[in-house]
Amino acid sequence: MRASAAACAFLVTSSLLCATTAAAPAESERLFQEGLAALERGAHDDAIDRFELMADRGFSHPDASYNRALAYSARAQSSSPRPGDLGRAAAALAETLELAPQDSEAEKALLAVRQEIARKRARGGDEPVRARPALTRAVLELLTENGWAVLSIAGSVLLSFGLALRFFAAARRPRLAGSVTGGIGAAVLLSCGCAGFLATRMHAASRPAVVVVAEARLLDDSGRPQQAKDGAPTAIPEGETVYVHEQAGELNRVEWGSVEGYVSAGQLRFLAQEVRLP
């Protein structure tokens, strides 16, 4: 009886954790192959057009985002670069990592693109600008939302098991074991549950985006440039990831590390957060 209940619970949890796997539709596959062919023959504009069209149609896939990043970075290194190409490459790589967090190749590439942006800024005489990371976000991003959720489930199960031992076991030792197990479970449930809840709320309340212009000036809510105070940065460099909390007309309220302010909507590129194969 207990074994069958455990098996059922495992199946339910597995079905919740495992996402469905589906093949890309033919039209998107065709666009992807055309973009790939264009990329290989050096037709960066064509490649960008095709990968961007896939994104416009709501198709989001880590491999398509990765190739889009390659197309932008190739154009950035070509003889006819466009302003913001490296920022867009960084955005596409950050999107790849949003969709496939374990993609180490994309992680290295994003680092390389950001280093190249920093080199360009340095060549232009700009000082490197960094924002202190916000502690809450840093802690909550230690795990994914589902990671926090799974730990919370484990805490709930431990607490339940401990309580059952504590309440129903007749012997003293199992009752003591139940108390210890229940205590640990309660602590795990409380901490991971709160973290998971906060991560979910934070995720729902903001969207990640990347700066795709040379520098996004931080503004106040009326659109006036923020004044520099206490050495806080007044502009966000190209390729940096920000979190958009609110869209107010042409302005977006963003969080960049511990810095908050408004930037013009056209200076940001939002990242797809879920794989979509429409």
Partner 1 sequence: MRQLSAVAVCGALVLLAAQSKAAPGQVSLSVSSKRPQLGETFTVQLVALTDRGSPLPSAPKLRGPAGIVARGPDISAQTRVNIVGGKVIAKIGIAATWTLRATKLGSFTIGPGSVVIDGKQVLSRAVRVIVVPAQPRATRQPFDPFDPFSFPGMPKLPGMGASDDEEDEEDEIALLPPYPGEYRLERAADPTAFLRAEVEPRRAVVGEQVTLSIYAYGQRGPFRETHTSEPSREAFLSFTLLENSYAEPMYRVPVGDSVWHAKKVRQLALFPIRAGKLVIGAMRLGFDGRGYPSDGPHRGLVRYSNPIELPVDEPPVAGRPPGYKLGDVGRYTLSASVTPREISAGEAVSVVAKLEGTGNVPFSLKVPRKTAVEWLEPNIIEQVEPRGSTIGGFRRFSYIVRIDAPGDIDLGELSVPFWDPERGRYETARATLGRVTVRAGGANGASPEPPPRDPLTALGPPRKSLGNAEASATSFSRQPWFFPSLLLSPLLVVGAYGGRRLVQTARQRAKSAAEDPTKLARSMLAQARQAQKQKDIATVATKAESAIMWGIEYATGLRARAVLKEQLPAELATLGLDADTIALIQEVLTACDDVRFAEPLAGDELYERARALTERLLKLSPRGDKRAS
Q: Which is nearer to partner 1, 12 or 138 (CB)?
A: 12
**Can residue 227 be called a binding residue for partner 1 (CB under 8 A)?**
no
Q: What is the DSSP string of 80-97?
A: S--TTHHHHHHHHHHHHH
Among 118, 134, 164, 169, binds partner 1 (CB under 8 A): 164
Any idea which residue has 């340095």 for tokens?
A: 122
Q: Where are the beta strands (DSSP E) in 29-150?
A: none
Applying CB under 8 A, the site for partner 1 has a residue count of: 84
**Can residue 34 be called a binding residue for partner 1 (CB under 8 A)?**
yes
Q: Which is nearer to partner 1, 252 or 257 (CB)?
A: 252
- Provide the token pair at 170: 């007749």
Among 57, 175, 217, 245, binds partner 1 (CB under 8 A): 57
**Can residue 145 be called a binding residue for partner 1 (CB under 8 A)?**
yes
Among residue numbers 185 through 224, which ones bind partner 1 (CB under 8 A)? Answer: 185, 189, 193, 196-197, 199-200, 203-204
Question: How far is it, in rounded angstroms, from Cα 47 to Cα 70?
Answer: 9
Q: Which is nearer to partner 1, 20 or 227 (CB)?
A: 20
**Can residue 66 be called a binding residue for partner 1 (CB under 8 A)?**
yes
**Can residue 156 be called a binding residue for partner 1 (CB under 8 A)?**
yes
* 3-state SS string for 102-128: CCHHHHHHHHHHHHHHHHHHHHCCCCC
**Can residue 40 be called a binding residue for partner 1 (CB under 8 A)?**
yes
Among 100, 118, 202, 232, binds partner 1 (CB under 8 A): 100
SS3 73: helix
Beta bridge partners of 237: 215
- Provide the token pair at 12: 């339910």
Question: How far is it, in rounded angstroms, from Cα 236 to Cα 244?
Answer: 13
**Can residue 43 be called a binding residue for partner 1 (CB under 8 A)?**
yes
Beta bridge partners of 247: 252
**Can residue 245 be called a binding residue for partner 1 (CB under 8 A)?**
no
Phi, psi of 128 (to 5 degrees): -65, 135
Q: How far is the CB of 258 from partner 1 (least distance, A)?
A: 26
**Can residue 107 be called a binding residue for partner 1 (CB under 8 A)?**
no
AA letter at 54 = M
Question: Which stretch in 28-36, 122-130, 131-139, 253-261 sits in contact with partner 1 by CB under 8 A?
Answer: 28-36
Q: How far is the CB of 234 from partner 1 (least distance, A)?
A: 16
- Provide the token pair at 46: 């064509």
SS3 276: strand
**Can residue 79 be called a binding residue for partner 1 (CB under 8 A)?**
yes
**Can residue 163 be called a binding residue for partner 1 (CB under 8 A)?**
yes
